Structure 1
Amino acid sequence: MKPDDSPDDPVVLPLEDHLDLHPFQPKDIPSVVEEYLEQCRAAGLAEVRLIHGKGTGFQRNVVRSILETHPAVSAFHDAPPEAGGWGATVVFLKTG
């Protein structure tokens, strides 16, 4: 195994009510989003914001396809303009 083939070390993120996905590789987005949502739900957060950017809409589509089927998600929509507009998605998590 070459050094560049080795798995990346896990990244520990502080738990906040928003997550900027720009620093992550596209291949990592699904697992990052799923883990983040689970941690937020476990911490009792009811609403979070995922910042995926505007660009071509690819990241937005990936994020929304995850949200459509994730068991912790009750609803989601575009963020208000002052919080990123269609470049971010507000997610409501199921409680209890």
Structure 2
Amino acid sequence: MCESEPIEVPIDGVLDLHLFNPKEVGDLIPDYIDACLRKEIYSIRIIHGKGKGVLRRTVHSLLDRNPHVESYSLASDRSGWGATIVELKK
């Protein structure tokens, strides 16, 4: 069995979780937040999809515990509850 290649994630303030296995999210989100802060990106969008809400709840739980998160809310655009907008502390 060959290992899959790591996914290159652009650090541009948009993180689409559809590309990842749900078990990777626990490390991915804190790492992505740290990378955004290094690039002075303080507003990020995390796309988790709508589905049953399991991934959204996981994302929100991780954001609740992250000391760099100032606030977050569901997107107010057409994606609605399929994405979360996160404001990071400067």
Confirm or deny a common fold (TM above 0.5): yes
| TM-score between both structures, scaled by the size of structure 1 | 0.85
Cα distance in 1 between the residues matched to 2:61 and 2:5: 26
How many Å apart are 1:12 and its aligned residue?
2.5
Higher-Rg member (1/2): 1
Tell whether the 8 Å contact from 2:15 to 2:46 is kept in structure 1 after alignment: yes
**Which among 31, 43, 48 is matched to residue 44 of structure 2?**
48
Where structure 1 has 5 or more consecutive residues not aligned to the other structure, the ranges are none
Q: 1:85 — aligned with what?
A: 80
**Which among 57, 74, 78 is matched to residue 61 of structure 1?**
57
Map Cα deviations across residues 1-47 of structure 1 (whole Å, 9 max, x no partner): xx36x6x5543311112111011001001111111111001111110
Tell whether the 8 Å contact from 2:70 to 2:88 is kept in structure 1 after alignment: yes
Q: 1:13 and 2:13 equivalent?
A: no
Q: 1:33 — aligned with what?
A: 29
Counterpart amino acid of residue 63 in structure 2: L
How many Å apart are 1:56 and its aligned residue?
0.1
How many Å apart are 1:58 and its aligned residue?
0.2
For 1:48, what is the secondary structure of its paired residue?
Answer: strand
Structure 1 segments of 4+ aligned residues over 6 angstroms from their partners: none
RMSD (CA atoms):
1.4
Q: Identity of paired residues, percent?
A: 37
Cα distance in 2 between the residues matched to 1:33 and 1:71: 13
Counterpart amino acid of residue 83 in structure 2: A
